[in-house]
Homo-oligomer: A and B are copies of this chain.
Amino acid sequence: MINDKMFELGNSASIIRELFEYGKKRKKIIGDENVFDYSIGNPSNPAPEIVNETLTKLLKEKSSIELHGYTSAQGDYEVRTAITNYLNKTYGCAESGDLIYLTVGAAAALTILLHAILTTGDEVIVFAPYFPEYKVFIEQAGGKVVVVNCEVPSFQIDFCALRKSITKNTKAIIIDSPNNPTGVVLTNETITLLAKVLNEKEKEFHHPIYLISDEPYRELIYDDTKYPFVTNFYDNTIVCYSFSKSLSLAGERIGYILVGSKAVDAKRLYTAVCGAGRALGYVCAPAIFQYMLPACLGHTADLSVYQKNRDMLYQELTKIGYEVVYPNGAFYLFVKALEEDDLSFSKRAQAYELLLVPSKSFGFSGYVRISYCVNPKMIENSLKAFRALYDSYNKR
């Protein structure tokens, strides 16, 4: 007498969540410091001080009715304009506050957007390894997931495979750079070529193919990598963004959908976004977090902490002998499993108290994901375990 599909979704804990729960139990038995939990992507850095300062100021200075009352469904217009001003200045794009729709985080942004553009049977291409909830969100909106594997070992786009997968039913393509789970940032060249391929295919099939750029890790980028802002490369781009990682606010749920100003029928598309937000019960994004944004744009949590973790882990694991994908962004390391079956490898790692997420969770074989948004001390302490795990394979 309930919706079985929803029951199944509620009942199927992800492998990541299972590992995390196992870790919690295990820590109680052998002590926190003896479990090396690399399972979860929860920011380990405090929010930059300006966040709490601005929130405190708003609470003190703005009238309660104004501060806590409804905003328009799309979000406060001044806030939306501040965001596009910031984007235009930072990335040299020409976006408009009229085409920003504030959301309760990136998951809401994706869900609302997919409902706005998809009709039953439309295909959406994702690049494996991919964030597992993409499948849930696409299917809930009536779409069909088409998986295209990345090029190995660069984890950029495999254009040969992509070209073959675009059909007349392809409505959208999702990219996620810096990537979860690989940490790879798509290069300028990749985005340029992607735009070229999509333009060709749009002409071939006589309809727009939307490029959905899911960018929760946009600011988590290292080594002076320059971020190619996608609306500058391809007209039919829609950005889904969240402040969860950049401002370490994952629990507060604030993000946005930006319809590129050059997208075909951008205003019509934006109206459909508003309609989808309404249909799904999203009334507005939390007001105080909207009003906080203008003062915090361009600020981030202390990224050097993540970069140091990355450097230490990358160097040490490579030194031991692991094959590690070099990541320019996010807080994930993608490491080749030492046997074909990544589930079995992850299982064996558990014997060394290492909690590594098998890449099967991301629709890809043969790797594990390491979330390095952790205490640096834990990394140091875990190196012995990584060594022992490696040796256990070479002794075989």
Contacts and interface: CB of A to CB of B under 8 A. Distances in A.
Interface of A: 1-11, 42-47, 51-52, 55-56, 59-60, 63-65, 67-71, 104-105, 107-112, 115-119, 133, 136-137, 140, 171, 207-208, 248-253, 264-265, 268-289
Contacts of A44: 65
Contacts of A64: 46-47, 51-52, 248
Contacts of A65: 43-46, 248
A264 B1 contact: yes
Given A65-B44, A281-B107, A115 B6 contact: yes
B289 A286 contact: yes
- Chain A contact surface mostly: helix
With most chain B CB atoms within 10 A of its CB, the pick from A2, A56, A112 is A2
Please tell me how many copies of the chain the complex holds: 2
With most chain B CB atoms within 10 A of its CB, the pick from A42, A64, A265 is A64
A67 B55 CA distance: 13
Contacts of A59: 52, 55-56, 59
A9 B274 CA distance: 8
Given A11-B271, A11-B275, A69-B43, A112 B251 contact: no
A173 to B, nearest CB: 14
A289 B10 CA distance: 24
A135 to B, nearest CB: 11
A7 B249 contact: no
A281 B140 CA distance: 10
Given A56-B56, A208-B1, A137 B8 contact: no
With most chain B CB atoms within 10 A of its CB, the pick from A8, A46, A207 is A46
A35 to B, nearest CB: 18
Nearest to A208: B1
A275 B269 CA distance: 28
A133 B2 CA distance: 22
Contact of A275 (B9, B117, B253): B9
A203 to B, nearest CB: 14
B276 A3 contact: yes
